[in-house]
Structure 1
Amino acid sequence: MRPLTTFVIGLAGLALWATLLSLAGRTIGEQPGETFEIEDMPTEWAEAAPSDDPSAPAESGMQAPPEAEIVPDADLPGNQPTGMPPAGPADQASPAPSVPDSLEVRPVSPEFFASPLNQAAGPLERIEPLQPPAEKTPERVRLVLLPRPESVEAGLIAFGSRNLKLSDITTTDRMRVCPTSKGGDWPCGMVARTQQRLFLRNRTIACDADSAEWEGTIEAHCQVGELDIAKWLAENGWVEAPDGSPLGDLVEKARSERRGIFGDDQR
């Protein structure tokens, strides 16, 4: 029975002690007008202490410190924020551009403008009106389409009983023979006619003739497609050109290069 009695007495003592402490704290808190001063409080704490009145504006130098924010040391590894590049010179605010005190203003004078009102009045002078430029009527060339051409010889084409000689060239007789570099001869006239026949290929040609119906032999410029027939024969050396012909240079070039009738056997 002794241990149980001792335990009960101890609990009663603790309860009594707690009751006395509670009464003592209530008595101290209910005493009006009593303040406590802390003489050893640092000056910084006293300046940063908030006012008792929440509606009173904060005085200069006595604003409440913001909530503490834990900022990791950026110099330590692993403390660099993810996705945030390191601060550099570009993050610093650029200085504002300087504004000159005065801007140069360009003077504008009304007398500089070309206005007829600023000129002195004078007698009017009548001038002749400008005549429109004379319209040049383009020279129209009549083209006649001639189907189924037959090559008689280089530079001469037949259409049934009618013949057409190409302008600016001299025809090559189909019976003409030309010398070779080895001292022999070759039938250059027959080869020239064959080359013209292969060039025309029985295609319709266009000539600057007055009519598609004529008698005998006429002379005209003719082309097949967009190619001039006489020019093609002169460039390839299958014909010669009379004096003063516009195709004379082409014939001389073909002669110097020994092309066509001016070269060796082309067969």
Structure 2
Amino acid sequence: MRPAAIAIAAAGFGIATLLVTLGGQRLAAIEAPSVDVIDEADIEDVAPSETENTAAIEAETEPQALPTDTNAAARPVAPEDVVPPPVEQGGLVREAPRAPLSELSLALPPKPKMPGDWDGTTLFRPVASAAGLIEAKGFSVAISGVSAVDTSETCSFEGKEWNCGVRARTAFRSFLRSRAVVCDVPPDAERGVIVARCRVGKQDVGEWLVANGWARADADGPYAEAGQKAETEKKGIFGAAPERIEMTLSPSGTSLPEVEAPPAEPAVEVPAQ
């Protein structure tokens, strides 16, 4: 077996040597590319001068003149953008207000809806700042149907003037006596002067003021008849000033009439036991 293996190896080596020899001959047969050799004497000096380089650079950097024809068609840069038209600068002119939407009146805000069992807002510890004006819980309620009497107002009766405004406020405070007042004022109403109808218990406040002459009734209000009656009967601000009790000191003590002392009761003797 060993001689046979040696023979096979020798044959393989010979075949490989033959293949290498044939490949080398084939490569040598390929013609090598020709290379032209240039003589340095044949090369001309073609480098541009420094002046020519400077002129070329200036020509490239010099800005080109824009066209002077303004009527030439301009190319739209961004045709999708909407540009507002130019506005002429001038003085502003105020336009007249438009006519109302209705011939009756302008539109008013809707009244707040109250529950069906709502019977007014209770104002505790009211204070009368004038006859016909109540302040409580941040509200300032003007009694509807009457004209309040200011505290600075003076009245005249048979040629005599008196401060009826202060007297009317005092009478109104005596009527209220800090009792709770129920007024037709929404609970979420804005703070400020509100014209509303009020009552103390079952007594209408406006009716009491007008009937006693401590406020003037509106001509077209619900208390017009009561106001005429109070003016005819000279009540309140339509009459004379209330009488004042004057007390003056006298040698005997006061100007009031002396009151006789009641007779002494006879002593009752108790029998001794």
Q: TM-score range by the shorter chain?
A: 0.3 to 0.5
Q: TM-score, normalised by structure 1?
A: 0.46
